[in-house]
Amino acid sequence: MNKVKELAKMIDHSILHPTMTDEDLRRECEVAKKYDVASVCVKPYAVKQAVELLKGSDVLVGCVIGFPAGNSAIPVKVFEAENACKDGAVEIDMVINIGKALQGDWAYITGEIKSVSDACHKLGAIVKVIFETDYVTKEADIVKLCQICTEVGADYVKTSSGFGFVKQANGDYNYVGATISVLELMKKSVGPKVKVKAAGGVRTLDQLIAVQAAGCTRSGATATAVMMEEAMKRFSPL
């Protein structure tokens, strides 16, 4: 596989902003097809449309669950995941219950991740578990979440939703998303069958290459076109 293709197949092209319309979905699925990325990551109602729009391509359809704040009850997350799979999603990105993680209720978190993972695996989909590392910041908690994901058979651990906004001292809200140090920590804390996905803040080709070097095999992105155009300039033969 050449370097351009290798980088394209790292990208989960995110089509998740709350304001996005069906027309935006159509446009962004065309971007995903043009660069032949790994997948699109869409909102639950958009799965059927995305499957139709990407028919005949190698781009997979993924869906977010309990997104972005992770607050749904476990049976609701399971139902939402099953519904997405039945609509054609083959990858599921679920947000954990962040409050339960912060209070160290690991039995709840284990049950939640296992319930969604088992349901998705029965329907032939893989599961990526979003920790929201702008909120879950303690190394020990991140390591514990990696251990749980390994134990229950989740397929990926993932840093962020891209919407984990933290209130700053001046009253503004922003987020950091994936950092190299957290990605490296996650990579060394999961078992050999669990992969790592960066999400949040990967907007340039150099950042994509950096998260790959940190051990990621996938990265969420909205700046797909910018990164892939740069990759084609940098790595394609003359």
Written as tens digits, the pLDDT of the chain (238 aa) is 699 999 999 999 999 999 999 999 999 999 999 999 999 999 999 999 999 999 999 999 999 999 999 999 999 999 999 999 999 999 999 999 999 999 999 999 999 999 999 999 999 999 999 999 999 999 999 999 999 999 999 999 999 999 998 888 899 888 888 999 999 999 999 999 999 999 998 999 999 999 999 999 999 999 999 999 999 999 976 5
Q: Which helix (H) or strand (E) holds 60?
A: strand 60-65
CA distance 15 to 25: 7
Q: Compute CA 37 distance to the chain's CA centroid, rounded to the nearest angstrom.
A: 14
Catalytic positions are 93, 158, 197
Question: Cα torsion for 171, 173, 70, 101, to the nearest 10°?
Answer: -70
Cα-only R_g, the chain: 17
Q: What is the pTM of this model?
A: 0.96
Nearest one of 199, 203, 204 to 219, comparing CA atoms? 199
Query: What domains, with CATH codes, occur in the chain?
Result: 3-235 (3.20.20.70)
Structural contact between residues 189 and 149, judged by C-beta atoms closer than 8 angstroms: no
Helix count and strand count (H, E) for the chain? 10, 10
